[in-house]
Amino acid sequence: MARLTITFLGTSSAAPTKSRGLPGIAVQREGELVLMDCGEGIQRQVMSSGMGLNRDTAVLITHLHGDHVTGLLGLLQTMSMAQRTRPLTIVGPTQLSRWLQVTSELLHIGLTFQVNFVPARAGMLVRLKEFDVKVARADHSVEAFSYLLEEKQRPGVFYPEKAKRLGVPEGKLWSRLQKGKSVVVSGRTIDSSKVTGPPRPGRKVGYSGDTRPTRRLARFFSGCDLLIFDSTFVGKDKDKAVERKHSTSAEAAALAASAKVRRLVLTHFSARYTSVSRLVREARSVFPNTIAARDGMKVEVEYPSQ
């Protein structure tokens, strides 16, 4: 079964700390990499994590605040210096394209690869190799978006007895059927549906970006296997969360409970807190299956049980 790994490249909010960089999350499945937000220095974090700079990659930017986007230009430059040749997909607010064009021209950055820019809008769907990316509007101080990565459906359970009855020899042909592909045996085409159960859902990963919790986002993230949510403030600082259009950890947990997600990861912590233990305690009192992200942390997303 394919591994789905989340790596937290930066987990602070607007200001970095000695132990936390600016926001960035990497999602890896097979050979595909999806980066969500690109805080300053993101390219170094990507390289340190051994992800490589010339694989199938998409970048999802939630909004145009510096802590979420200033690392993108450096990432593009580093990819070019590494002689990247594969096209790169970037999804983000419409003005992101203009910012990239102007700054690239001013700094004389010549790219060695094609950039396919997709302006984000609520309700849209972007199809990648391994994922479908869905977009919802977040509630922040500027135009902002949240993203949902839905892994493609996987084939149903394989039944060897059915394959044997149809005369399919064990080995490579079984492997093809298990992957949902048809095979030819003695001139007969046998579809995988003849020897497998119904397709099974893939895994779902949600990322809020900076936002207040909303009913819209609770519906959007419904049933996520892993939800990564803005948790900038503790409960006593809720007034700051409301004023600055962020969430407290308890509010993130309440949304996770409402959305019936399997697991919640808190991130985007204010630099005012030297420890995030209180944020975790407050969240777990509402939604027990909660952890706090830290820079360099990896989380494996398991398949749904059904």
Residues catalogued as catalytic: 67
| Token reading at 181 | 């592909």
| Token reading at 98 | 């203009």
| Largest pairwise CA distance in the chain | 71
Please state, in angstroms and as integers, the Cα–Cα distance from residue 223 to each residue in 8, 82, 192, following that order.
Answer: 22, 39, 28
| Token reading at 186 | 């003695």
Report helix angle 94-106 to 66-81, nearest 10.
50
| Token reading at 206 | 């949600």
Please state, in angstroms and as integers, the Cα–Cα distance from residue 41 to each residue in 37, 44, 196, 286, following that order.
Answer: 12, 6, 46, 34
In one-letter notation, the amino acid at residue 49 is S
Q: What does DSSP say about strands 145-151 and 204-207: parallel, antiparallel, or unpaired?
A: antiparallel
* Rounded Cα distance, 206 and 297, in Å: 17
